[in-house]
Structure 1
Amino acid sequence: TLSAADVEYAAIKPQKTRKERKEEEIQYDEVTFTVNRSNAHQRPQEDCVYSQ
């Protein structure tokens, strides 16, 4: 999903004006933060499995 979002974002970016591009970057940062948060939540579970 993240890869598809990256490709979509890259495709849209050149067509945006500077102002619109700034808004798009902010929105993209929020999506990235959500994904990173999900990964951080999964990591302790994986560590638990490895430690067992």
Structure 2
Amino acid sequence: MSLVEILLCIFLPPVAVAIKKGVGLDLLINIICCFFFWIGGVIHAFWVLNQK
């Protein structure tokens, strides 16, 4: 994971997920997580970006 990806995960989690996975279910889940609880979106973004 690069420094840019880490910063995106912290400050703009949906953008980080969209860049890595594209528009799909992961992005929708991340947007919902960010809407209800921002830290949940950050955790989900790190989880998605760390998957192989």
TM bucket, shorter chain: 0.3 to 0.5
Larger gyration radius, structure 1 or structure 2 = 1
**Larger helix share, 1 or 2:** 1
- Normalising by the residue count of structure 2, what TM-score does the alignment of the two structures yield? 0.34
